[in-house]
Amino acid sequence: MGQDPSTTNRLATCTSPYLLQHAGNPVDWWPWCDEAIALARRLDLPLFVSIGYSTCYWCHVMERESFEDPSIGRALRDGFVSIKVDREEHPSVDEWLMTACQVMTELTEGRASGGWPLNGFIDPHSMRAFHVGTYYPPQDAHGRASFRRVLASLSSAWVERRDEVIAQAQRIGGIVEDVLTRTVSPAELPASLPAQVAQALLRFEDTTHGGFGGAPKFPQPCYLRLVREAAHELPTLQPTVTRALDGMVSGGLFDQVGGGFHRYCVDATWTVPHFEKMLYDNGQLLELLAAEHARVPDERWSSAMRRTASWLERDMNSGDGACSAALDAEVDGREGLNYLWTHAEALDALGSFDPSARDEAVQALGLDRPNFRDPHHADAPPAVVPTRRPWRDSASVDAACARLLAVRDARRGPRRDTKLILEWNGLLVEGLAAAGMALRDERMILLAAQVAEALWAGHQRDGAWHRTRIGPVLGPPATLADLACFGLGLETLWRATKEERWLARAQNVERHARSQFSLDGRWWVNAGGDGVPVRIRSHHDGAVPSGLSAILDLQVRLALATRGRDEGREALDALARTIHAESGTIMANPVGLTWAVAALARAMREGLLQGTAGSRDSGIAAGASSRRIVCTESGCTVEWA
């Protein structure tokens, strides 16, 4: 019923690398837009919304198996209006549909689950999902219905059992809207909260290999930031941070040959990574390494920071200063292909080395000990993901890594997602500036400044900020997290340089965030008008800090930066409103908002807070500041001593 696609579909005019990957599909794809929703309403067809991102392995698999199949294209064209969404461009759309997926799986399977690709079927009239899933196989397998069967079943239900479909949409949609818009009354924020949350996190620590949980194992920088902050009061917590960073830096999560951190490891020992590299991980891990190096200088930390910065300049720089979003996990359909080595390949690459230096490098990087078997290609020979255990400073190993990198650079490399994302680059500015301060490395600070200048010049137009950019083409409006994370980077750059323009810009960004995303101290992820049927509240941190956590941290830092200045009253007033309005949200899920709890811990330690949001008598020490926030059961106010 829709428009027949020719050799390319509508996505061919988009700039998102992920959407462009689907531009040749025999599917009548639309980008996320009002026109597609209006068409579905006019034709009375359900929306099929498929969400992914350019470095998503299973997104690539489903595209090859299903979206490149002409018969699937016909089924989608006849029964649905199909929309492809880059989750990195539209995080609010992704959070809305992911919440629907978690609600539906909780209702139908007894436990919430989700992932990408994320595929939702939506009543366009109410904009409520009636069925949501993730990857669908091309044929029925392992108890999972094929994508073709799912399409036929849902299309038939829409035509023949519309009342049931609408009832399902109302049930799921009502829960989704409650979850995403929920507000909580102000609550007590006890002075012991950071230590309590840190102790709760320690129950999940892997004390053998470092980090939290088992396989798959993620870096969890939001957790580590809170533990680090709580360690100011409880020094016994500090080894948790050190163990985690040591496991990451010496294992396969860190690209020992080329620098930079992969997304996560498929095992619990930090050995075999999922090979995609995301900008946001590297920005946050740079900041954590910088703080650890400032506490106890160590060649492990300085080497990882410098080599990560080199990787960013070499492989991720867009040409105008800002950095691209990500590198793909696969090459030619093979996961991690360019990062892997056989023993013979390594020896050949190092053939010109002195034998003793070569042997030292082979042993130090584990190049003679295969640790990887491709689960999707059983015929592939065993290979090595280089690790550096135990880590030790060695000129021979560094030289071997440089030689291996030169050989690797001649191989076909992974695709790069060239989107410039304000949020992720903001975290990178923070990480680079912090690393530059810790290492007293002016080049790193200059690199941070170049990224910040590119963001400042390129992501705002006519008074509006934009989340993404490719070249001069601006993408969707900025979210709360975009502005807050950029503000964190600017404030860190001010501390690194003491140049007032960076602080002034951080203040400007925070004020703009308040004007767009705050109401009486409560914070919202999106400003509305993005096609999502609800304005979303910010309730939890993930791979990156939530908008709420990041803006609270920024407000704490600005209050500290302007203490004793004329503009200090505004900063403290803004922080007081946020603490009072969002204290209940934080207390309802402090383990889910660890970055926010870390910000509160710093505010207490630096003397910005006295009392709690719920009790006049809890007695958080205020220090010697001439102004501070006093929180009582009636709210938080600024007290001028």
What average pLDDT score do residues 209-215 get? Answer: 97
Q: Percentage of the chain surpassing pLDDT 90?
A: 87
Out of 393, 413, 433, pick the residue that ends a domain: 413
> Could you give the count of Cα atoms lying within 13 Å of 480 in the half-sphere of its Cβ?
29
396 and 454 share a domain? no
Confidence category of residue 449, pLDDT binned at 50, 70, 90: very high
Per-residue confidence (pLDDT) for residue 622, from 0 to 100:
33
Res 20: pLDDT: 96
Please compute, for residue 511, the number of CA atoms within 13 A of its CA located in the half-sphere on the CB side. Answer: 10
Token pair, residue 350, equals: 């190092």
Residues 171 and 25 both lie in one domain: yes
Instruction: Over range 590-616, report the average pLDDT.
Output: 83
pLDDT of residue 296: 97
Q: With respect to residue 279, please indicate whether it lies within any of the assigned structural domains.
A: yes
Residue 285: per-residue pLDDT: 98
**In-domain check, residue 188:** no
Q: DSSP code of 639?
A: E
- Is 187 within a domain? no
**Which of these ranges, 103-112, 236-245, 260-269, has the smallest mean pLDDT?**
103-112
For residues 300 and 338, state if they share a domain.
no
Distance between CA atoms of 548 and 586, rounded to whole angstroms?
A: 9
Residue 578 carries which side chain, given as an amino acid letter? T
Do 401 and 499 lie in one domain? The reply is no
Number of domains present in the structure of the chain: 3
Same domain, 423 and 547: yes
CATH of the domain at 249: 1.50.10.10
Q: Tell me: do 456 and 485 sit in the same domain.
A: yes
Q: Angle at Cα 556 formed by Cα 555 and Cα 557, nearest 5°?
A: 90
CATH number at residue 117: 3.40.30.10
> Is pLDDT of 79 > 70?
yes
Mean pLDDT of the chain: 93
User: What is the band of 91 on the pLDDT scale with cuts at 50, 70, 90?
Assistant: very high
E strands, 19-151, are 29-31, 47-52, 81-86, 118-123, 128-133
**Residue that finishes a domain, picked among 390, 413, 436:** 413
Domain membership of residue 617 (yes or no) is yes
Residue 227: per-residue pLDDT: 98
631: pLDDT strictly greater than 80: no
Same domain? For 615 and 478 the reply is: yes
Q: Among 207-211, 235-239, 377-381, whose mean pLDDT is lowest?
A: 377-381
Residue 1 domain-assigned (yes or no): no
Question: For residue 615, is pLDDT > 50?
Answer: no
pLDDT at 141: 85
pLDDT in tens, 592-603: 999 999 999 999
pLDDT for 85: 98
Task: Tell me if 497 sits within 8 A of 435, measured CB to CB.
Answer: no
User: Tell me, what's the pLDDT at 375?
Assistant: 84
Q: For the chain, what is the total number of helices (H) and then of strands (E)?
A: 22, 22
The count of C-alpha atoms lying within 13 angstroms of the C-alpha of 273, restricted to the half-sphere facing its C-beta, is 32
Q: 457 and 530 share a domain?
A: yes
Based on the fold, state whether residues 113 and 253 are members of the same structural domain. Answer: no
pLDDT tier at 630, thresholds 50, 70, 90: confident
Q: What is the pLDDT of residue 627?
A: 64
Distance CA 57, CA 52 (A): 10
Give the span between the Cα atoms of 466 and 318, in whole angstroms. 17
33: containing domain: 10-181
Q: pLDDT tens digit string along 389-418?
A: 999 999 999 999 999 999 999 999 999 999
CA distances from 196 to 200, 213, 230, 526 (A): 6, 19, 9, 31
pLDDT tens digits along 341-391: 999 999 999 999 999 999 999 999 999 999 999 888 888 899 999 999 999
What's the rounded Cα separation, in Å, for the pair 581 and 595?
17
Instruction: Give the per-residue pLDDT at 335.
Output: 87
Check: CB of residue 527 under 8 Å from CB of residue 516. yes
> Which of 181, 209, 233 is the endpoint of a domain?
181
Give the model confidence (pLDDT) of 530-576 as tens digits: 889 999 997 899 999 999 999 999 999 999 999 989 889 999 999 99
Sorting pLDDT into bands at 50, 70 and 90, what band is 634?
Answer: low
3-state secondary structure of 12: helix
Inform me whether the pLDDT recorded for 452 exceeds 60: yes
Domain assignment present for 606: yes
Same domain, 200 and 346: no
Q: Residues 270-290: pLDDT tens digits?
A: 999 999 999 999 999 999 999
Only one residue has tokens 């998503």, namely 56
Q: Is residue 493 part of a domain?
A: yes
Confidence band for 475, pLDDT divided at 50, 70 and 90: very high
Q: In this structure, are strands 81-86 and 47-52 parallel, antiparallel, or unpaired?
A: parallel
The more confidently predicted of residues 188 and 486 is: 486
| pLDDT greater than 70 at residue 502 | yes
Instruction: Looking at the structure, tell me whether residues 500 and 624 fall in a common domain.
Output: yes
Per the rule left: phi > 0, alpha: psi between -120 and 50, beta: everything else, 478 is beta
CB 600, CB 586: distance < 8 Å: yes
Do 586 and 598 touch, CB atoms closer than 8 A? no
> Is the domain of 440 the same as that of 316?
yes
β-pairing verdict for 326-327 and 416-417 = antiparallel
pLDDT higher than 70, residue 419: yes
Side chain identity at 117, as an amino acid letter?
A: P
Sequence-ordered list of residues with C-beta below 8 angstroms from that of 93, at least 6 positions apart, any chain: 32, 49, 51, 85, 87, 530, 531, 532
Q: Is residue 4 in a domain?
A: no
